[in-house]
């Protein structure tokens, strides 16, 4: 099993506090995320981007320390984060990708990072990807029966149909739901675990699960 971390360009203030300690992990970086990793003493395996936000000296530093840099043009249909995620899932065959720096800052960047997992090229593998920041853990799930474990320090649990969804059932959370259908996205926030795990199921669509704390 090969797990990769991917740092996007979101502000460091949104990073989990323990991110700088993850030096032994496999890392990829999108654009300025590569420079931020280097400043933490972490050398990404691959850096992807147009790097138009880097000063010439910063780009030189990156070129001297990262052996595999994938250059992209500035005007393109894909974001640098999308390009990096595609490499992690398709080329490196990552069994799990934890995406940091995908939240905070500009709202359009946040929404892009959430919605990109719904793209047909990523959707089949969306359950292998987790977005993680200082307060939240975000995952997408495909139809079926799923049991999730409460992550350390995360007190709240939310379920959000991201598409039309049929048959959503929350079996053992504080607030339960039985065989509910939804024609559009909706958020069921501020639910809670009643034990160390929770089971839910649905028949069609895509459901996001968020664990978080204040």
Of the candidate ranges 70-74, 91-95, 130-134, the one whose mean pLDDT is the lowest: 70-74
Domain of 161, CATH number, reads: 3.40.50.10240
- Pair (120, 39) in one structural domain: yes
Q: What is the DSSP letter of 193?
A: B
> 202, 214, 198: which is closest to 160 by C-alpha?
202
- In terms of domains, do 124 and 145 share one? no
pLDDT at residue 119, rounded to an integer: 96
The domain boundary, picked from 95, 119, 134, lies at 134
Q: How far apart are CA 149 and CA 171, in angstroms?
A: 14
Q: pLDDT tens digits for 37-55?
A: 999 999 999 999 988 888 9
Tell which phi-psi region holds residue 68, choosing left (phi > 0), alpha (psi between -120 and 50) or beta. Answer: beta
154 exposure class (CB count in 10 Å sphere: 0-12, 13-18, 19+): middle
Per-residue DSSP letter, 80: H
What pLDDT is recorded for position 135?
96
CA distances in angstroms from 152 to 17, 105, 112, 167, 210, listed in the order given: 13, 25, 27, 29, 13
State the pLDDT at residue 76: 84
Let me know whether 113 and 7 are in one domain: yes
For 17, the token pair is 């506090």
Instruction: Indicate the residue among 134, 169, 188 that finishes a domain.
Output: 134
Give tens-digit pLDDT for 109-128: 999 999 999 999 999 999 99
Same domain, 171 and 194: yes
Q: Which residues span the domain enclosing 127?
A: 1-134
**Interval 127-152: pLDDT, tens:** 999 999 999 999 999 999 999 999 99
Rounded mean pLDDT of 186-203? 97
Cβ–Cβ under 8 Å, residues 154 and 120:
no
Q: How many domains does the chain have?
A: 2
Give yes or no: residues 12 and 114 share one domain: yes
Q: How far is CA 33 from the centre of its chain?
A: 14
For position 73, what pLDDT does the model report?
Answer: 86
Domain match, 113 and 46 both = yes
Return the percentage of the chain with pLDDT > 70, whole number. 100
b/e for 45-55, b at 16 or more Cβ within 10 A? bbbbbebeebe
Residue 139 and residue 16: Cα distance in Å, rounded?
A: 16
Supply the mean pLDDT for the chain. 95
Among 84, 116, 134, the domain-final residue is 134
Q: What pLDDT score does 52 carry?
A: 83
């Amino acid at each position: 099993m090969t797990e990769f971390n991917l740092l996007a360009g979101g502000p460091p203030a949104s990073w989990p506090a323990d991110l700088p300690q993850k030096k032994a992990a496999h890392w990829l970086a999108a654009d300025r995320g590569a420079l931020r990793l280097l400043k933490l003493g972490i050398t990404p395996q691959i850096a992807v981007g147009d790097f138009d936000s880097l000063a010439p000296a910063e780009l030189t530093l990156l070129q001297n320390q990262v052996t595999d840099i994938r250059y992209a043009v500035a005007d393109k249909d894909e974001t640098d984060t999308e390009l990096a995620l595609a490499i992690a899932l398709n080329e490196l065959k990552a069994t799990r990708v934890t995406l940091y720096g995908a939240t905070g800052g500009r709202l359009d960047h946040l929404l892009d990072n959430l919605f990109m997992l719904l793209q047909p090229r990523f959707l089949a593998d969306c359950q292998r990807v987790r977005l993680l920041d200082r307060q939240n853990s975000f995952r997408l799930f495909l139809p079926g029966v799923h049991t999730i474990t409460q992550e350390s320090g995360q007190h709240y649990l939310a379920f959000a149909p991201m598409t039309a969804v049929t048959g959503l059932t929350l079996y053992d959370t504080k607030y339960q739901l039985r065989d509910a259908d939804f024609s559009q996205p909706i958020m069921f926030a501020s639910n809670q675990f009643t034990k160390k795990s929770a089971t839910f199921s649905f028949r069609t669509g895509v459901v996001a699960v968020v664990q978080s704390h204040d």
